[in-house]
Amino acid sequence: MKLTTTVTKRDSAAEIEDFIATHSAYVDEVQVSGFTHFVHVSDHFGKEKIWDEFGLDRPDLKGKVKCFLPNFEMLVKPNGDICACCGAYTEGLVYGNVYQESLMDIWRGGRAEQLRTKICGGDLEELENCRVCPVRYKYDNIDNAVHNTRK
């Protein structure tokens, strides 16, 4: 079981450590991820001033980033769609449907491999979903959404 939370610059390193220490006893993993939901809202839905409205700084982009999450994670949606990660909110990260193929065939299939190659290779700009993912952004108080996972 994994517990995930998001933080902004308003959360201190001590508060983050405290959150991890408090919750680690109850779950297998605690993941601390930079808050980027407003990147979706501002870039995807065209609401550019949303950061100011809530007094938050928009995080800066890193250089080219690779993401390895689709190598060990998939998301099954209620309609059976299988996606590359838990952050998939577009059709672009769907690589099968469990009502049409077995889970193992989907996991090992060509569409999944194509997506993994692209994402692990760092072609995140090309995928609408990955373009606004936390792993592409810098934060002062945490390192990186994917690599910040603790067991």
Using CB under 6 A as the criterion, which residues of the chain lie in contact with ligand SF4 when the complex forms? 67, 69-70, 84-85, 87, 119, 124, 129-130, 133, 135
Nearer to ligand SF4, 67 or 106 (CB): 67
Residue whose beta carbon is closest to ligand SF4: 133
How far apart are CB 102 and ligand SF4 at their closest, in Å?
22
How far apart are CB 74 and ligand SF4 at their closest, in Å?
10
Nearer to ligand SF4, 85 or 112 (CB): 85
Nearer to ligand SF4, 10 or 66 (CB): 66
How far apart are CB 133 and ligand SF4 at their closest, in Å?
3
Q: Kindly report the three-state secondary structure assignment for every residue of the chain.
A: CEEEEEECCCCCHHHHHHHHHHHHCCCCEEEEEECCHHHHHHHHCCCCCHHHHCCCCCCCECCCCCCCHHHCCCEECCCCEEECCCCCCCHHHEEEECCCCCHHHHHHCHHHHHHHHHHHCCCHHHCHHHHCCHHHECCCCCCCCCCCCEC
How far apart are CB 59 and ligand SF4 at their closest, in Å?
14
